[in-house]
Amino acid sequence: MRGVSSSVGAALGVVAVLWSLQMASKIRYTLGRGRLVRSSLGQGVTVLVGAVVGGITGWMLHQFNMGTERGLLVVVSFLLLVQGPLDLLTSRLSRPLTSGGFIATVVIVLVDAVVMVTLRKALVAALLCALVMVAFGVLHRVSSKSLGFGDVLLVGPLSLAIGCVSPSNIPLWLLAASVSGALHGVMSRVIRKSTTIPFGPHLLGAAWLTLVLSV
């Protein structure tokens, strides 16, 4: 059964990243940057990452004991597979997708609070989510060039999901995202002479990894 779930997850992961690449191409055209040109190697790596993330997600769904945890993992995985490539290639995050992910996360947490009578856990998760969003909002206000408003919105569903599953892992998530982002920044400066990087993929990847390791 886990093998089937992994295979289905891998297939869905590939579909999600291919859809993201198509969205990225349309956004680049709208912004006047021309068509999205991807080498066969780059395309292959993207598809492979989508398959791996989707496959691991499908396999991990059997490791979680609660339906709430499964639902949150699915939402975060979807955001990673779609928003991650989009932000990497266009430095843009889809606000409708972020909003949809946030709504889905809120619904999952509320259902869990009502059905499982875990109101205290839901309130703690909501408080942590608010604190993280406020902190990112302040950083955006101080330097909008360093942190986009899309990232401020993105941490909403991610922090709520992690806060619901394991509140103590929120600092670890932010630390992992910051470290990977810093390494990406150094590599980008050395290789491409660029001083800016998209932070969304690091927030998404660290959140997904945090949920996977929270079993």
- The answer to whether residues 151 and 162 touch, using CB atoms and an 8 Å cutoff, is no
Q: Domains of the chain: which residue ranges? A: 2-212
Torsion sign over Cα 49, 173, 136, 99 = positive
pLDDT at 167: 95
Tell me the backbone φ, ψ of residue 205, rounded to 5 degrees: -65, -40
Residue-by-residue pLDDT tens, the chain, 215 positions:
667 889 999 999 999 999 999 998 888 877 776 666 565 667 788 899 999 999 999 999 987 777 899 999 999 999 999 999 999 989 899 999 999 999 999 999 999 999 987 899 999 999 999 999 999 999 999 988 889 999 999 999 999 999 999 999 999 999 999 999 999 999 988 888 887 899 999 999 999 999 999 86
Does the pTM of the predicted model rise above 0.85?
A: yes
* Residue 203 CB partners (closer than 8 Å, separation 6+): 151, 154, 155, 158, 177
